[in-house]
Structure 1
Amino acid sequence: MSFIEITKFNNWRIDRVVLVFVITLIFIAFLDRNQVWPSITFAFGNLVSILPFILLSIGVAAYTKASNLDSKINTISSGNPVVSIGIAALFGTLSPFCSCGVIPLIAGLLRAGVPLAPVMAFWISSPLMDPEMFILTSAVFGLEFTTFKTVAAFLMGTIGGLVAYLMVRAGYFQEIVRPQGSSGCSSSCGTSCDDDKPSTTIHWKFWQSSTRRAMFRDEALTNGWFLLKWLSLAFLFESLMVAYLPVDKVALLFGDDQWWSIPLGALIGIPAYLNGYAAIPTINSLIELGMGAGTGMTFMLAGSVSSIPAAMGVYALVKKPVFVLYLLLGLMGSITAGYAYSAWLLI
């Protein structure tokens, strides 16, 4: 194993993520024994629900590494950055992923060599809207609110991708993904290794080579274990937030769209857990009780683009500067959308 979460204790090799998971369960049992089983079933159920995406991302990453396809992907996806960013943001707006569910796909894309800019565009826009959510949101909030949220999702993704692109061009984010040490010749993004030396040859039928079969196996096991342990821990924390965090009571403190209520809504919405579907009835009831529509828009966007469980998975996947950029883009984008919607209602 690799990564700093592996530590030696006497003759035992203890994975720190697994250790935190077990200690968390012990604390739950000590503080509220009745919550242990609901938290376990919640985490397991969420893992099962996104299992197809996990398997897809593992397979894509392992195949691109074993076939040497990652040596070509970076060049192909870097043709026209503005177009690729726009397409990624549009695809993200139409894709049905929550902030946690999108992490396995992001991991696969980054490890396959896709540049950060289009990945960031997809990453931000994907949890914010999809066709089913558009229909449900329209039924509750009306077409105006839903259309504005859809446009905001696309623009947040596009602007986020452009910011990432400009920062990469300026020399930032030379290393994107945290190393996982899969097959002994891995890299942060976009590079590859052949059996003996770098090569641009694509080995579509990688299974014909024993070395590449081993490369596929090692990559799949490394990425699979990484996603399994971090998402399990993230969903465990998510279960506690769902059980104990009084999102509705906190949100009622915002009142109408005051100058401070919209940024406060983003600051609380980012760490709070509100997936897109759960947010619809929650935000609707809060608006009916006095929350401003602009604050509701901000709270819904911020809670969808990230949360503490999602942030944990992101932090484990990418380098700290990329993680900070991801949070800032979600925060500033949701605040801007909230103020814009408030201004729109005044016209």
Structure 2
Amino acid sequence: MTETSLASPSLRSALRHLWQDQRVWLATAAILGTVALFDPSQAAQSARFAGQALLTTAPFLILSIALAAWAGATGADNLIARAFTGAPTLMIALGALAGGLSPFCSCGVIPLVAALLSMGVPLSAVMAFWLASPIMDPSMFVLTAGVLGPEFAVAKTLTALGLGLFGGTVTHVLSRGGAFAAPLRDGIGSGGCGGVRIRAPKPVIWRFWAEPDRRAKFGRTAWSTTLFLARWLMLAFVLESLMLAWIPAETVTATLGGDGLLPILTATLVGVPAYLNGYAALPLVGGLIEQGMAPGAGMAFLVAGGVTSIPAAIAVWALARPQVFALYIALSLIGTFTSGLLFQIWTTLA
């Protein structure tokens, strides 16, 4: 057997990984290039939009990347993971509460989720945080109360907590049967190597920079995580910009009028592709509610737009294995429809 033939498998593996690393950048470039052929100004606007969005989320990205790299380099990831091995109910409740108070959007929460899962935090607690986070935060509560009223703001807050608790509980029940043992895709954190399982205890060295191997691990983890998040979030933000530009918000929300279950179901499904910034959507939904749109449909549209939008779904798909992605989408849709239905019932009875 020749030296060339011995090297061939390694070469093919290297080329395959190189292609997997670059295909997202190529897809983003292809989208912008195609748009530039027909609408150069929109291509420039989309590129600026994506760049500005990355800069806006940069503080959260840097914090999450540094946290993941620090935990791996020091060995603290095992301690963090073991902190979540107590009562599952308490961990799920804390995850939902933290999500309802955190200032993360559906894409911005991705790096923190990746860091938590790579540390070995159980998927159930992370899922509770993951689902609750994009729906509500303190500033959103104040604005929602001002535009749609305190009742709507409180209901949306309860929806965030309820969806987090529901998603975390369902995930926990399924995980007890052995499902989702490794939620992260291969090459992301410890995905593929038992990401949610507590790893063998290792000594914790807080001053990791004093050891060359730990310094090197910190650098490798930070760099690989940065590249991964940057390429997928760039694609998500480019798509978001095109959706905002080509799908008028008024046209989308105008389809949500009427009474009964159908408007709520329509709002749940329309909220998936029709991404609206949570703040920008409030006055539009408020105006339609004043014109007779069912409040439950308004609630469903706002929740779906934050949790299950296409940009968010792309980020989730890049991070998690297909079965976890499917679970996330299913929990989001079921929770969104249920929240709209319950809010409609409440407003009717009130």
Taking structure 2 as the reference length, the TM-score comes to: 0.91
* Residue correspondences, number: 337
Tell me how far apart the structure 2 counterparts of residues 296 and 182 of structure 1 sit (CA, whole Å).
Answer: 38
Question: 103, 106, 117: which is aligned to 2:124?
Answer: 117
What residue is the counterpart of 1:38 in the other structure? Answer: 45
The one-letter code sitting in structure 1 at the alignment partner of 2:18 is I
Distance (Å, rounded) in 2 between the aligned partners of 1:47 and 1:256:
38
Report whether the alignment pairs 1:7 with 2:19: yes
1:40 is displaced (CA, Å) by 0.8
Q: Tell me, yes or no, if structure 1 residue 74 matches structure 2 residue 81.
A: yes
Q: Aligned pair 1:99/2:85, yes or no?
A: no
2:290 to 281, 288, 291: 288
Sequence identity percentage: 42
Cα shift at 1:3 = 10
CA distance change for structure 1 residues 30 and 139 in 2, over 3 Å: closer, same or farther? same
Contact residue 266 and residue 299 of structure 1 kept, 8 A: yes
Q: Please, what is the CA RMSD of the aligned residues?
A: 2.1
User: Which secondary structure state, in structure 2, belongs to the residue aligned with residue 128 of structure 1?
Assistant: coil
Q: Could you tell me which residue of structure 1 aligns to residue 69 of structure 2?
A: 62
What is the rounded CA distance, in whole Å, between the counterparts of 2:17 and 2:269 in structure 1?
29
Runs of 5+ consecutive residues of structure 1 not aligned to the other structure: 9-13
**For 1:200, which of 193, 199, 202 is the aligned residue?**
202
3-state SS in 1 of match to 2:134: helix
Structure with more helix by fraction: 2
SS at structure 2 position matched to 1:260: helix
Q: One-letter code of the match for 1:321?
A: Q
1:265-311 superposed Cα distances (whole Å, 9 cap, x missing partner): 11110222123212211211222333211101100111111311111
1:61–1:220 Cα contact (<8 Å) kept: yes
Letter in 2 for 1:243: A
* Residue among 143, 156, 178 paired with 2:150: 143
Which residue of the partner structure matches residue 166 of structure 2?
159
Task: Kindly state the Cα deviation for residue 84 of structure 1 after the two structures are TM-superposed.
Answer: 1.0
Letter in 1 for 2:170: V
Task: Decide whether the 8 Å contact of 2:188 with 2:319 is kept in 1.
Answer: no
In the superposition, the TM-score normalised over structure 1's length comes to: 0.92
1:186: Cα distance to partner? Answer: 7.8
Q: Which amino acid aligns with 1:168?
A: S
Q: Find the aligned partners of 1:272 and 1:4 in 2 and give their Cα distance.
A: 34
The corresponding residue for 2:179 is: 172
Going from structure 1 to structure 2, the CA distance change for 1:321 and 1:181 (only over 3 Å counts) comes to closer
SS at match of 1:127: coil
1:301 to 303, 315, 326: 303
Could you tell me how far apart the structure 2 residues matched to 1:304 and 1:142 are? 19
2:50 aligned counterpart, secondary structure: helix
Cα distance, 1:102 vs structure 2 = 1.0
Q: Which range moves more in the overlay, 64-73 or 28-37?
A: 64-73
The alpha-carbon distance between structure 1 residues 77 and 326, as it changes in their structure 2 partners (threshold 3 A), is same
CA apart distance, 1:251 = 2.5
1:170-220 Cα offsets, whole Å, 9 max, x none, are 11101101122679x983514688xxxx55211222112111111111111
SS of match in other structure, 2:19 = strand
Deviates most, 54-63 or 205-214: 205-214
> Which structure is higher in RCO with an 8 Å CA cutoff and minimum separation 6?
1
Cα gap change, 1:93 to 1:2, in 2 (>3 Å): farther
1:216 paired with 2:227, answer no
Q: Match of 1:65, as an amino acid?
A: G
Letter in 2 for 1:230: W
Deviation string, structure 1 residues 235-289 (Cα, Å, up to 9, x no partner): 0111100100123213322322322221111111022212321221121122233
Q: 1:3 to 1:121 in 2, by over 3 A?
A: farther
Structure 1 SS opposite 2:36 = helix
- 1:249 aligned to 251, 267, 278, which one? 251
Q: Point out where structure 2 has 5 or more consecutive residues left out of the alignment.
A: 1-12
Is the contact between residue 128 and residue 304 of structure 1 (CA under 8 Å) also seen in structure 2?
Answer: yes
Could you tell me which amino acid in structure 2 is paired with residue 24 of structure 1? Answer: I
Contact 1:77–1:84 (CA<8 Å) still a contact in 2? yes
